């Protein structure tokens, strides 16, 4: 009888812990999901976007939500959503992400690209490339910025060694 009670108590504790942790996770994520929902709604209202497929977050001079999607003709576009502004660009009129990646690898052949994301640097809509490069002193991380429309190199931010 004692072993049965211990097992029942153990199951009850595990189940209760599971419910509490799942509620905590949902509460934490709810704000993030709400930000994405609002960004998509703003993109629909402020651009030609009718279908959204993904939302990324960009943190530069001002926080932006980057909404990827399509217009009613099925053409791909990217929309930058800030607190005050919505800006869209057709992806077929942009400098291709693959060519941005190639430019970074040509400049720094031994580097490892972590991510490429649309963003904004000053007044320019850009591709931000985050990558790392190793040398005999350690690993260094970089942010390169290229104009979104034509791929013109703008700047590199170098982070300290790790």
CATH number at residue 48: 3.10.450.40
- Asked if residue 98 has pLDDT above 80, the reply is yes
Q: Please check whether residues 70 and 111 belong to one and the same domain.
A: no
The residue segments making up the domain with residue 64 are 2-92
Q: Please check whether residues 62 and 131 belong to one and the same domain.
A: no
Q: What does the pLDDT look like over 5-25, one tens digit per residue? A: 888 877 778 878 777 777 777
* Number of structural domains the chain divides into: 2
* pLDDT on residue 29: 64
Please tell me whether the overall predicted TM-score, pTM, comes out greater than 0.85 for this model. no
Q: Please check whether residues 16 and 52 belong to one and the same domain.
A: yes
Query: What's the rounded mean pLDDT across residues 140-157?
Result: 95
Query: What's the rounded mean pLDDT across residues 105-132?
Result: 94
Q: Please check whether residues 74 and 134 belong to one and the same domain.
A: no
How far apart CA 67 and CA 40 sit, in angstroms, is: 6
- What is the average pLDDT value for the chain, to the nearest integer? 89
Annotate 45-74 with DSSP letters as a single string: HHSSEEEEEEEEEEESSSEEEEEEEEETT-
CB contact at 8 A, 49 and 79: yes
């Amino acid at each position: 009888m004692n072993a049965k009670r211990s097992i029942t108590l153990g199951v009850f504790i595990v189940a209760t812990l599971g419910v509490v942790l799942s509620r905590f996770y949902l509460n934490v994520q709810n704000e993030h999901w709400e930000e994405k929902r609002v960004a998509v709604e703003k993109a629909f209202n402020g651009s030609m976007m009718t279908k959204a497929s993904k939302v990324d977050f960009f943190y530069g001079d001002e926080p932006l939500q980057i909404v990827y999607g399509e217009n009613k003709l099925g053409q791909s576009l990217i929309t930058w959503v800030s607190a005050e502004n919505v800006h869209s660009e057709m992806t077929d009129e942009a400098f291709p992400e693959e060519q941005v990646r190639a430019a970074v690898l040509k400049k720094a052949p031994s580097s490892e690209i972590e991510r490429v994301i649309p963003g904004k640097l000053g007044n320019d809509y850009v591709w931000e490339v985050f990558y790392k490069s190793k040398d005999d002193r350690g690993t260094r991380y970089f942010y390169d910025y290229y104009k979104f429309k034509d791929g013109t190199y703008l700047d590199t931010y170098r982070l300290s060694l790790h």
